[in-house]
Chains A and B, each alone.
Chain A
Amino acid sequence: MGTTRWLAVALMGTTMAWPFHRAPGHRSRPSPKPSVVQGARLYQRACLSCHGPRGDGQALALLPDGTTAPPLDGLVGEGRSQRRLESVIAQGSGMMPGWASVMTPVQLKSLVLYVQSLNPSSPASPSPQTPRSSP
């Protein structure tokens, strides 16, 4: 019994001390990077109620004073740098909460990416009358 125990300890020690190399093709877990997809998910959870599903200020819930939050779909423009946008989302402004106390830096950057994607200067949506494709 004692010999078995010593063998087990020796085997475990060897296993832990052995200089293993990573198998070919192995990739270490990538550090999370900001993504617009994560930003969209966060927007739906944290921002949509006050800024509207399209970010155009069409709120689904009013602020306590009966007003609505401003639209976000025009924030990418002159004087509206990414840093400024991130700062407002992180620290808050007026009635806007500062999300840095609950979101990670990566989440904040993801949110910035998504909010920037709400830029209305994108090509206009086709109207229902406009033929989208010809047969």
Chain B
Amino acid sequence: MERHLTRRELLGSFLAFGALAAAARTNIKPLSVTAPMAAAKPLRIVHLSDLHWGYRGDWNRRLPETVARVFHQVAELTPAANLIVVTGDLIQAADGTVEREKRLAAVKERLEALRIPWLAIPGEHDAFGDQGALFRKLIGPLHFHRVFQGLHIFGLDNVSQGFFLGRTQVQWLAKEAQRLQPSDAVLVLSHAPLYDLFTPWNWYTFDGEAVFRQFHHLAHRQFLFGHIHQGLDHAHHGVMNHAGLPVSWPLPEPGPMERLAPWPQGASHPDMGLGFRLLDIANGRFQCQTLALEDADRKAVLR
């Protein structure tokens, strides 16, 4: 039996095509990650991760340039972001205190220049050598609870002592969580994933289950993390966990490789896998989008 398109289906197809064309032009790739989420008013949050400022090597041969382009894209967002969150590894680990201080100060200066409120938690590179003392001094507390336009933001430290939170932080978290109402919306930031993503590569938090337990009574929860250098969305105990795109270099998925190792930056597609993510909370809905630096229409230089 022959089937004809209805006017509504035709219109839907045009709209879908238009959305795809717009996405290809702007590199914004809407994901199917939407969920109920309450906030006092519409919120746009930029999720940056793994800048590794100060790195020199072939994983990203032009890191300062990459960082500058990402920050430029953040500044140009329309509508503008209300908040920036950085899920760790602002800098590449360095031996000397002076060098680490220089690197952290450089990232802080660039974040401040955007004139958008920002929050950051440490990655293991930021806490390297002093268990986060310098990060605490220059950037802020290693773990915190802030309320931003009605959204409860918890920054957790699962790197400074090891890939765990530790009893003290879990006790603090339990106290803070008890004060929340079931209708409160919570955004949790951590560097390493709070669930066991791949323990042989330290992609986990030893006691991360405690966080899921503390917030289980809340209806609106979204967890953000970094560390794995690739965009990923995963539900664990009914909570969506979103990995941020790296600004620095991508990492492979666990699977064929036994040892974790990045690959040299490609000549034709140097921005492969790099970028940031956008979180929009509006009309009681949460949407997570990916903004990749890689230009889909880029012509390969090697033919």
Q: Which of A83-115 contact B (CB under 8 A)?
A: 92, 95, 97-99, 101-102
B95 and A65 within 8 A (CB) = yes
A49 and B167 within 8 A (CB) = no
* B95, B162, B202, B204: the one within 8 Å of A99 (CB): B162
Any B CB within 8 A of the CB of A44: yes
Any A CB within 8 A of the CB of B201: yes
Any B CB within 8 A of the CB of A11: no
Any A CB within 8 A of the CB of B260: yes
Closest to A98 in B: B161
Q: Which of B69-105 contact A (CB under 8 A)?
A: 93, 95
Q: Mark B182-223, 1 if CB is under 8 A from A, else 0.
A: 000000000000000001111010110000000000000000
How far apart sit A64 and B124, CA to CA, in the bound complex (Å)? 7
Main secondary structure of the interface of B (DSSP, over half): loop
How far apart sit A50 and B259, CA to CA, in the bound complex (Å)? 11
How far apart sit A102 and B207, CA to CA, in the bound complex (Å)? 7
* B202, B206, B260: the one within 8 Å of A102 (CB): B206
Closest to A65 in B: B93
Any A CB within 8 A of the CB of B44: no
How far apart sit A46 and B162, CA to CA, in the bound complex (Å)? 9
Contacts of A95 in B (CB 8 A): 128
Query: Taking the nearest CB of chain A, how far is it from the CB of B194, in angstroms?
Result: 14
B164 and A64 within 8 A (CB) = no
With known contacts A59-B259, A64-B124, A65-B95, A102–B199 Cβ distance under 8 A: no
Any B CB within 8 A of the CB of A61: yes
Query: Taking the nearest CB of chain A, how far is it from the CB of B187, in angstroms?
Result: 24
Please, could you name 5 A-B residue pairs with CB atoms under 8 Å apart, sorted by A? A53-B200, A64-B128, A97-B162, A101-B164, A102-B166
In order of increasing CB-CB distance, the 7 nearest A-B pairs are: A97-B162, A64-B93, A101-B166, A102-B164, A64-B128, A61-B260, A60-B200
B162 and A49 within 8 A (CB) = no
Any B CB within 8 A of the CB of A10: no
A44 and B128 within 8 A (CB) = no
* Apart from the given pairs A48-B199, A60-B259, A61-B200, 4 other A-B contacts in the complex at a CB distance below 8 Å: A45-B204, A64-B128, A65-B93, A92-B162
B201 and A102 within 8 A (CB) = no
Contacts of A60 in B (CB 8 A): 200-201, 258-260
Query: Taking the nearest CB of chain B, how far is it from the CB of A93, in angstroms?
Result: 12
Contacts of A46 in B (CB 8 A): 162, 206
Any A CB within 8 A of the CB of B274: no
Q: In which size bucket is the chain B interface?
A: 20 to 34
A49 and B164 within 8 A (CB) = no
Q: Mark A37-65, 1 if CB is under 8 A from B, else 0.
A: 00000001110111001000001111011
Q: A residues engaging B (CB < 8 A)?
A: 44-46, 48-50, 53, 59-62, 64-65, 92, 95, 97-99, 101-102
Any A CB within 8 A of the CB of B229: no
A44 and B161 within 8 A (CB) = no
Any A CB within 8 A of the CB of B6: no
B260 and A101 within 8 A (CB) = no
Any A CB within 8 A of the CB of B181: no
Closest to B260 in A: A61
A62 and B260 within 8 A (CB) = yes
B168 and A101 within 8 A (CB) = yes
B164 and A97 within 8 A (CB) = yes
Query: Taking the nearest CB of chain B, how far is it from the CB of A51, in angstroms?
Result: 11
A61 and B202 within 8 A (CB) = yes
Contacts of B206 in A (CB 8 A): 45-46, 102
Contacts of A59 in B (CB 8 A): 259
With known contacts A65-B95, A98-B162, A102-B165, A48–B200 Cβ distance under 8 A: yes
Contacts of B260 in A (CB 8 A): 60-62
Query: Taking the nearest CB of chain A, how far is it from the CB of B26, in angstroms?
Result: 35
Closest to A44 in B: B199
Contacts of B162 in A (CB 8 A): 46, 92, 97-99, 102
Any A CB within 8 A of the CB of B47: no
How far apart sit A64 and B125, CA to CA, in the bound complex (Å)? 6
How far apart sit A60 and B204, CA to CA, in the bound complex (Å)? 14
A49 and B165 within 8 A (CB) = no
